[in-house]
A and B are shown apart, each in its own frame.
Chain A
């Protein structure tokens, strides 16, 4: 091996420093949130600038968060939407992908074209809104699930995975008398499990973080998912629902830390799972880049 020149060694050092700086810049806002959520509200209000550690240490804000009926119902609604949403997503996506991967049937090609067209042309927000409304999905959690049951891009990824499964597997199953449902659920899905896992994660994260359809299609507060409650608190700066029981002076201060505690509570589940699932997510990007 050639010995590294001085210039290269200097580059190495600069590169490492740059990367450390990047990591600090990436993580710091998230750390700030954690520190602020654990801080004493009074100290946080008085403090300006960077936080390097929690100011005081109190779980009071979290206590407030979990006492709040909106957060609890938000959590429940989000979990409902993630759970049933992912089931519907994966089921529908798998059905569609299986159909699209059957090259021999005559109608596959026309339907493929029909589906791909929707990646280019859409009716737009307003007609979509009225379509969903006319189906009596308004003010129902299913409005967050059914209208987005299939992501076409994901379906194409899944079709690619199904197409990669050798035909012999299927042929022998047909000889054994298996129908399409059996082939899909007993052969295709188990063999394409890595891709299915990627789909579950993508759809799951999407549902966990989604808020716009909830804002547009839901009207009663007890149905709001977590992100919508978060929007009220963070974007509209409305913490009145959070601090019903406190005296007014105290209220403003507590709401400051409660804000951060809510972020922690809403983001932690995903960020805590993420390191373990990272390779699946990354794999998804790879599959997507290969395409079918």
Chain B
């Protein structure tokens, strides 16, 4: 098709489109794209059933839900569950723990892959640098169950971590029974598992930096450290900023999977977060409505955090989730 005819077609469309009523346009559109809409049907059904129906189901937070009566048949009790939750000792505890774990992960876990990427970037041997990458990406693929199983095993008082630390005068303890050690264990194991994988995106940003900049800097007599400060870091700064903003959006979104694999009643005071609390109350203690209310509270906050961080990132760099 020639350029001319494409242009012509376009003008025809723009000329006729405003004249048609919406109904006619919808009808024409449906007739023309019937097969397409048929294809989209399963996808649409998936989103409605597994995303929108649960959203509707969240109203059980305002009811005294029992599975026998169903969502509609259950008695309406308003914001009682929210009142109970905000008034309970759990509210401040799990909110604090969620923030504590999330912020600790952010402070220590966020810079780690950046530093790793910069160090890998400074390696002169390509083979060695690729080896480092291959090895450090690996733990990302090990399942959470295995990771947590290993953490449990290694942090026992007879475990490897304690044995190694005892060389430095550490007294062996069962670390996962110590409330004050849970956050360090969580954060360090997170870094261990994800530092390599997280560095990929920065390494990609690093390859995007114009090599001419380095050439020019070298001619001006800049050493490697100066190049790092004046070229490399500014080069990946936009990536860092965007990832940081998007990360901030998930500040109250600490997943429960790792927590519930690692924690035990002895350390609930530091390890129990909102999502693990929702899981325990709802699926283990059958306080469905109460648990749904806590979940809803969490979803609402998450939504605002995510939405505002996304808005910010779009304002700054035109990058967002969609």
A residues at B contact (CB < 8 Å): 1-2, 4-5, 7-8, 11-12, 15-16, 18-19, 22-23, 25-27, 29-30, 32-33, 48-51, 92, 95-96, 98-99, 102, 104-107, 111-112, 114-116, 118-133, 135, 146-147, 149-150, 156, 168, 171, 179-181, 184, 205, 208-209, 211-212, 216, 227, 230-231, 233-235, 259, 263, 266-267, 270-271, 274-275, 278, 281-282, 285-286, 289, 291-292
Q: List 24 A-B contacts (CB under 8 A).
A: A11-B122, A12-B124, A25-B192, A29-B154, A50-B160, A92-B42, A99-B39, A111-B44, A119-B322, A120-B307, A123-B56, A123-B58, A125-B295, A127-B58, A130-B54, A135-B49, A208-B143, A209-B145, A211-B257, A234-B149, A235-B152, A267-B142, A271-B141, A292-B322
Contacts A114-B47, A118-B47 given; indicate if A125 touches B278 (C-beta within 8 A).
yes
Bitwise, B126-162 to A at CB < 8 A (1) or not (0) is 0010011011111101111110111011100010100
Q: Which residue of A lies closest to B262 (CB)?
A: A235
Which of B43, B124, B158 interacts with A150 by CB under 8 Å?
A: B43
Given known contacts A127-B54, A282-B200, is B146 in contact with A180 (CB within 8 Å)? no
Q: Is the CB of B261 within 8 A of A99?
A: no
B50 at the interface (CB under 8 A from A): yes
Residue on A with the closest CB to B58? A123
A288 nearest in chain B by CB position:
B201
**Given the known A-B contacts A211-B145, A285-B201, are A99 and B40 also in contact in the complex, defined by CB atoms under 8 Å?**
yes
B42 touches A116 (CB 8 A): no
Asked if B230 CB lies within 8 Å of chain A CBs, one says no
A7 to B224 Cα, complex, angstroms: 10
A30 to B142, CA, bound (A): 10
Q: Is B283 an interface residue (CB 8 A)?
A: yes
A220 to B152, CA, bound (A): 26
B234 contacts A by Cβ under 8 Å = no
**Are B46 and A150 in contact (CB-based, < 8 A)?**
yes
Which of B25-33, B83-91, B92-100, B102-110 sits within the interface? B25-33
A-chain residues with CB within 8 Å of residue B35 when the two chains form the complex: 179-181
B190 lies within 8 A of chain A by Cβ: no
A122 touches B42 (CB 8 A): no
C-alpha gap A71/B63 in the complex (Å)? 42
Out of B55, B122, B164, B261, which one reaches A231, CB within 8 Å?
A: B261
Q: Are B123 and A227 in contact (CB under 8 A)?
A: no
B175 interface contact, C-beta 8 A:
no
Supposing A11-B122, A29-B150, A271-B142 touch, asked if A278 and B137 sit within 8 A by C-beta, the answer is yes
Contact status A230-B146, CB under 8 Å: yes
Per-residue contact bits, chain B 60-82, to A (CB 8 Å; 1 contact, 0 not): 10000001000100000000000
Starting from the known contacts A26-B196, A230-B146, A231-B261, 7 additional A-B residue pairs (CB-CB under 8 Å) come to: A22-B132, A23-B135, A105-B29, A209-B145, A235-B152, A270-B142, A275-B134
Q: Which of B179-187, B265-273, B296-304 contacts A (4 or more CB under 8 A)?
A: B296-304
Interface core residue of B128, B145, B279 (most chain A CB under 10 Å): B145
**Interchain CB contact under 8 A, A120 and B303:** yes
B138 neighbours in A (Cβ, 8 Å): 26-27, 30, 271, 274
Q: Are B288 and A126 in contact (CB under 8 A)?
A: yes
Taking a contact as CB atoms under 8 Å apart, the answer to whether B57 and A130 are in contact is: yes
B138 → chain A closest CB, angstroms: 7
Q: Is the CB of A122 within 8 A of B132?
A: no
B119 touches A15 (CB 8 A): yes
Known: A23-B131, A235-B152, A267-B142. A181 touches B50 (CB 8 A): no
B321 at the interface (CB under 8 A from A): yes
Interface flag for B291 (CB, 8 Å): yes
**B292–A102 CB distance below 8 A:** no
Among B36, B144, B257, B275, the residue within 8 A (CB) of A99 is B36
Q: A124 near B292 (CB under 8 angstroms)? A: yes
Known: A99-B43, A114-B47. A122 touches B299 (CB 8 A): yes
Which one, A23, A92, A212, A227, contacts B132 given CB within 8 A?
A23
Q: Is B306 an interface residue, CB under 8 A from the partner?
A: yes
Chain B residues whose CB sits within 8 angstroms of the CB of A128 once the complex forms = 50, 54, 57
A19 touches B148 (CB 8 A): no
Q: Which residue, A22, A51, A267, A270, has most C-beta atoms of chain B within 10 A?
A: A22
Contact between chains at B40 and A96 (CB < 8 Å) = yes
Report which of A26, A50, A102 forms a contact with B33, defined as CB distance below 8 A.
A102
Q: How far is the CB of A58 from chain B (nearest CB, A)?
A: 20
Asked if B58 and A230 sit within 8 Å, CB to CB, the answer is no
A201 to chain B, nearest CB (A): 10
In the complex, the answer to whether B135 meets A130 with C-beta atoms within 8 Å is: no
Q: Tell me, in angstroms, the Cα distance from A287 to B154 when the chains sit together.
A: 36
Using known A-B contacts A50-B163, A211-B145, A271-B142, determine if residue A121 contacts B57 with beta carbons closer than 8 Å.
Answer: no
